[in-house]
Structure 1
């Protein structure tokens, strides 16, 4: 059993030598029922035949766990395949997983892969069962509840710092940053503290950049609008010139077709010879 205590930050791995405690429920033991050791046929117990995120009591684990409540957060079977939430079976299935799915880490962008995962229902074929303490009992568990491990890093985002220290928007977040002490590896050097860079912090420079960005965006929009208007005006001018030129061409053709046709080619030669012959007779 891999038991974690979020209140103290501790985690402990407990090996259960007597698996009979997991195969029988507390109520069944109180009634004096016999324990069925067949892994396929067993009565519903506190830890077996339960789904992930189910809250179970820890009284069957021993007197030290009386009054404790655990939430099943996952586990691995004998071959190391992890339990996946939402797969309502006790066996293994092969699912096509992508980025964002549990039990899979993609190596490339958009990569999908078919992986073997185990269902979210507990059964005796598990080698490790992960539990989270929801309610602590009267007795302390060594290495789990008697010690407290503080978080190594504090909140980094500005809103998270405000929520952590219950601050208002008017308060200065930079005064409440949790610093951590760094001990140099070289001997003789004094330890120093480091503070994380606060993300999403509203400063006058950030507001100035935002105003500049909005002003540039507005200026660019006005410039695009003016260029579009100039283009449309030039386009209308070119279309009007083209239309006027077409009208003049049509008018010129009509005027040239209304005039009498002048003789040309062989007819002109014949007329000139006829006139010359008339002059010779005269």
Structure 2
């Protein structure tokens, strides 16, 4: 935006109209004026462009595709999040591919929210656990602007996931497989990953990774392994038996205390009844 100032006649610096000298009808004072020239840098291509973030869970790759022609990405209009769309109109390389819409952003950057069945923005009161909002304090709620889950022409970024692979390979998306950096951590998932039985030792099959020291350049690389969760060991079984024994002892002690309390209450009720009967007998004798 550029501002252009055009100088006019000298401006009267009098602050109040009464301080100015009287002017006749013929000799009117010309006032100063400011001419503003607004220049907006508008990129016409970005107004009709949609960016597609395509992910392939089978290979672990992700790619961004810029689609400039509206007729190509019009197939996503009026589609909702989690709907599957045939990606043939995007180009010959996407022939036979089926993608699923997972989210997106509009031109102002507001995210699409699942469950809001509207093609425009709304302001919702969001709390902890909702998407499109991160709480800063416990129990905090805040009204935020979110975009509905129906795709429209105002969406500039759309997130897609490949559900079915087509005929050809797409460079950077299906041509190679990226290895996972971290392996499974839970014991049952490690057994499922390596097809192990119940008698096999899971600790031998943990995926380890090399870690290089950032402080020492010539240090030998060391390996690091995650702590296995839900691993059944003899110590864990012993702890469970101990906890069950504590619960059993606590139950027996409470049962004995209740029996003692009931016996004491019965004794006191009997004493109270005997006392009341003695008082009534003394009144009758009198």
TM-score scaled by length of structure 2: 0.76
Alignment of 1:116-265 (within 5 A): 116-185=145-214, 186-255=216-285, 257=286
Distance 2:277 2:91 in 1: 106
Distance 2:83 2:264 in 1: 73
Matched, 1:10 2:40: no
Distance 2:155 2:275 in 1: 90
Distance 2:269 2:208 in 1: 71
Greater CA drift, 232-241 or 100-109? 100-109
- Quote how far apart the aligned CAs of 1:69 are: 1.8
Match of 2:47 in 1: none
- Quote how far apart the aligned CAs of 1:253 are: 4.5
Distance 1:112 1:168 in 2: 47
TM-score scaled by length of structure 1: 0.77
- Quote how far apart the aligned CAs of 1:82 are: 1.1
Match of 1:86 in 2: 115
- Quote how far apart the aligned CAs of 1:111 are: 3.2
Distance 1:243 1:135 in 2: 85
In structure 1, the gaps of 5 or more residues are 24-45, 258-282
- Quote how far apart the aligned CAs of 1:20 are: 3.3
- Quote how far apart the aligned CAs of 1:116 are: 1.7
Distance 1:85 1:239 in 2: 66
Larger radius of gyration: 1
SS of equivalent residue, structure 1 residue 171: coil
Distance 1:62 1:247 in 2: 103
Match of 2:130 in 1: 101
Greater CA drift, 217-226 or 103-112? 103-112
Deviations 1:46-85 (A, max 9, x none): 2222122222222222222222221111110011111122
Number of residue pairs the alignment of both structures matches: 234
Deviations 1:198-231 (A, max 9, x none): 1111111111111111111011011001001101
In structure 2, the gaps of 5 or more residues are 1-51
Match of 1:57 in 2: 86
Considering fraction of residues, name the structure with more helix.
1
Alignment of 1:263-278 (within 5 A): none
